[in-house]
Amino acid sequence: MGKISNQELIQKISSKFADRVSTFSEPMGLLTFETSKEEIIEVLTFLKNDLDFNFLTDITGIHYPEQEMPIGVIYHLHSFRQNVRVRIKVFLEEQNPSIPTAFNLWRGADWMERETYDFFGVQFEGHPDLRRILNMDDMVAFPMRKEFPLEDPNRVDKKDFFFGR
């Protein structure tokens, strides 16, 4: 099988999901579209089983505080046989964002979802073991959200006092 074009993919996805997917774009040639948390598992299942996107490259998050739906969950899929990738974005509300888990489609989603939970606080419903993976267990904040200060508040050697201010 050769490489499938983005236009073909858009056509196949649109004819299946119609207005349940939106905002198609191709930044740097990478097909990108948005969907909702109600549709995401159906979209992923369709891509995996019918369009042969066998590999889940990554699940990650993003935070745009100025948007109405500020927390994003981003899926990257790769089809080895067709040599093509897609990116799917789902935006969620800021308070207690939650989305169904992709663990049942790809076991590799386990740690990716834990990481997204760790840094953005997204609850993945149905995940078998959703706890922090990289940060300390006793951390209470979600550090990649924009309101979180990145600098360590315990550090004293940068205080103005030491610079005569």
Q: Among 3, 81, 146, 158, indicate the residue that binds another protein (CB under 8 A).
A: 158
Please report whether residue 136 would count as binding another protein according to CB under 8 A: yes
CB nearer to another protein: give 64 or 148: 148
Least Å distance, CB 119 to another protein, is 10
Please report whether residue 3 would count as binding another protein according to CB under 8 A: no
* H, E, C per residue of the chain: CCCCCHHHHHHHHHHHHHHHCEEEECHHHCEEEEECCCCHHHHHHHHHHCCCCCEEEEEEEEECCCCCCCEEEEEEEEECCCCEEEEEEEEECCCCCEEECCCCCCCCHHHHHHHHHHHHCCEEECCCCCCCCCCCCCCCCCCCCCCCCCCCCCCCCCCHHHHCC
Least Å distance, CB 126 to another protein, is 27
Q: Which residues between 45 and 84 bind another protein (CB under 8 A)?
A: none
CB nearer to another protein: give 107 or 146: 146
Q: Among 2, 27, 95, 155, indicate the residue that binds another protein (CB under 8 A).
A: 155
Query: For binding to another protein (CB under 8 A), which residues are involved?
Result: 134-136, 143, 148-152, 154-155, 157-158
